[in-house]
Chains A and B, each alone.
Chain A
Amino acid sequence: MTIERFLNNSATSWMAGEGEHADIVMSTRIRLARNLTGFRFPLSFTENEALQVDQAISSVLLDAEAELESTFSYIDIKEVSTLNRQVLVEKHLISPKLANSEIVGSVLLSNDESVSVMINEEDHIRIQCIYPGLQFHEAWRQADKIDDILEKQLPYAFDEQFGYLTSCPTNTGTGLRASVMMHLPALTMTNQMNRIVTAITRLGMVVRGIYGEGSEALGNIYQMSNQTTLGKSEEDILTDLQSVTEQIIKKEREARAALIHTRPNVLEDRLYRSLGVLTYARLLTTEEAGRCLSDVRLGIDLGLIKGVKVAILNECMMFMQPGFLQKYAGVPLQLEERDVFRAKLFRERLQVNNNIDDEGEEIHDV
C-alpha cells in the first residue's frame, strides 16, 4: 500500500484545531504497550520470531477494519527512506525508535491518521491514538477498543501481579502512557513554568518540551504525561491527568488575562512583531519560527490578531521541521539553506492566506 498520502499531507487529524480547550490543548495522545506470549521481546528475538509476530498482529487488525470503521495501511519500515521516516516522526505517526530500526518493525496507520499501531518497536505492539483538543476519555475508548480486538485473537503476556508485561519496567502494569500537548505562552512569559513543572512532578507526572526529553520547550509547547503505570487503574490515571490539565488551562487563561490587562501595548507590539517576522523574514531558524508561531497563535487566541487562520499556523508548525522542509524542497538542505527555504514557505503561506481567503489550494506539493 502506498504511504505517499501520509507523507505529502502536512495537515493531520490531531492538528484540526478542534475539541475542547483547543486554543490551549493542541492534542491528546493515548499509547498502550502490549506483548505476545511465546515470543521474546524485540530487543532479544530472532528475525523469524519478528516475522511471526508481525504477521499475527497485522492480520488481526486488517481483518477488523469493518468493526473499527476504518481502513488501515500497512507500512514496512525497511522499505521507507530515511527522510520519509523522519517525516512520519515529525507527524507523530511513528516513534523515533521505530524510525531508527534497521531490521524489523512496521506500522499500521488508519486513513485519518488518528490511529497508529506500531509492530516490533520496543514492544510487540504499541497502540497509539491521537485526538485534537482535550479528549482523554475519547482517545482511551478508541485505544481500548483496538486492544480488545487484539486480545481476543492473540495471547497477551500478562501477569496477575505485574499486569501487562512490557520490555521497559517503566511501562509495566497498564502499559498506558497518556499525554496532552499544550501551548502555554502566558505561563512561560510570566516565568511560572518552572514552579508548575516542579509541582506536577510531585504528582507522578512528567512535563517536557514537545521534542522529547531535555529539549527546551520550542514554541512554548509542552507535553505532559503520566509517569506511573503500576498500581493505578487506567481510569484513575486519566482522571488525574484530566484534572491537572484543567488546572493548568485555568492558570494559563489567568496569566493571559493578566498580561493583556497590565501591558496591553507591549504585548500587542511583541505579537505583531512576530507576525511581521513570519510574513517578511528571509532567514528563519527553527527556534525563531517556533517562538514567532507561538506569539501569533496567542495573538489570534486573544483576538488581537485577525485574518490569520489557526489551521495555517498548524500547517506551518508541521512543515517548519527539517524532514518536511527537505521533503518539499525535494533535495537535502544544509542548515542555512533550510532557514532560507523555511522563511520562503512561511512568506508564501501567510501571504496566500492574506490575499486569498480560500483554503483549497495546496502550494507545497512536490
Chain B
Amino acid sequence: MICENCKQRPTKVTVTQILNGEQVQRHYCDVCAQDFHPFHLDLQDPLSLHQLLSNWFGIPENQQLQQKQQTEAISCSSCEWTFRQFLKQGKFGCAHCYESFHEQLPEVFKKLHNGNVKHVGKAPSTFGQTLKLKRQIESVRTLMRTAIEIENFEEAALLRDEARALEEQLQSGGENRDDN
C-alpha cells in the first residue's frame, strides 16, 4: 500500500480517527506521518473573545476585587445586561450598553483595536455635518500648535482665527442637534 498523502512512498503508519462518530483510517509513510497532527482537536472556538476579555478583567488581586465586583455589577438600563454579562459573552446587548459601560470601554477597545479608542471613519450624514466640523477644528488646532512650536506666530494667528470661525459655525449649525 502506498502513502495516502504523497502517493509515492510505502505506508508505515496507520492513524484511526473518529470524525463525527464515524471511524476513518489513514495510511501514511514515515515522512508524511511527521506532518500529520493526530492531536488536533476540533474545537469550535480555540480561545474566544469572551475568555480573553474575562482574563483581562479577571485578575483577582485582593485590592481590586471589591472594585471589580462593583464594576461588573453595573447594568444597562435598556437591555438589563450587566458588565459581567458583557465580559462573559463578549457582546453588547444593545446600543445603549455603550453609554452604560462608557467608563470601562476605552480599556476594552484599547486591547481589541491596537490602542485606538476613537472612531475616525464614515458617519451617517445626519451626524456627518457637525462631526466634520469638529474634526476640522481639531486638525486646525493641531496645525496651530505646530506653528507655535516652530515660532511661526503669523501663521498661528491665522489658524486661530480659522478655528474660531469654524467653532461659530458649529454652534449656530449644531443647536438642535441630538447627541446620541
Q: Which of B46, B94, B120, B126 has the most CB of A within 10 A?
A: B94
Q: Is the interface of A mostly helix, strand, loop or mixed?
A: loop
Interface size class of A (residues with CB under 8 A): 35 or more
Point out the residue from A157, A237, A334 that lies within 8 Å of B95, measured CB to CB: A157
Q: What's the minimum C-beta distance from B89 to chain A, rounded to whole angstroms?
A: 7
Binds A, one of B106-114, B140-148, B154-162: B106-114
Q: Is the CB of A40 within 8 A of B94?
A: yes
| Bound: A174/B94 CA distance, A | 17
Q: Is the CB of B127 within 8 A of A232?
A: no
| Bound: A277/B22 CA distance, A | 24
Enumerate B97-116 residues with CB–CB distance to A below 8 Å: 98, 105, 108-109, 112-116
| Bound: A217/B170 CA distance, A | 52
Point out the residue from B112, B119, B179 that lies within 8 Å of A163, measured CB to CB: B119
Interface size class of B (residues with CB under 8 A): 35 or more
Q: Is the CB of B109 within 8 A of A230?
A: yes
Q: Which of A44, A170, A335 has the most CB of B within 10 A?
A: A44
Q: What's the minimum C-beta distance from B43 to chain A, rounded to whole angstroms?
A: 7
Residues of B within 8 Å of A334, CB to CB, are: 22
| Bound: A351/B131 CA distance, A | 61
Q: What's the minimum C-beta distance from A326 to chain B, rounded to whole angstroms?
A: 14
Q: Is the CB of A158 within 8 A of B121?
A: no
Q: Is the CB of B121 within 8 A of A163?
A: yes
What are 21 A-B residue pairs whose CB atoms fall within 8 Å in the complex?
A: A40-B78, A43-B89, A44-B81, A44-B93, A151-B126, A160-B179, A162-B118, A162-B119, A164-B119, A169-B49, A169-B105, A176-B121, A204-B114, A214-B46, A228-B113, A230-B116, A230-B118, A231-B114, A231-B116, A234-B121, A288-B4
Contact residues of B with A, CB < 8 Å? 4, 7, 19-20, 22, 24, 43, 45-46, 49, 78-79, 81, 89-95, 98, 105, 108-109, 112-127, 131, 134, 179-180
Pick the 8 closest A-B CB pairs, nearest first.
A231-B116, A163-B119, A157-B95, A40-B94, A230-B113, A44-B93, A174-B121, A233-B121
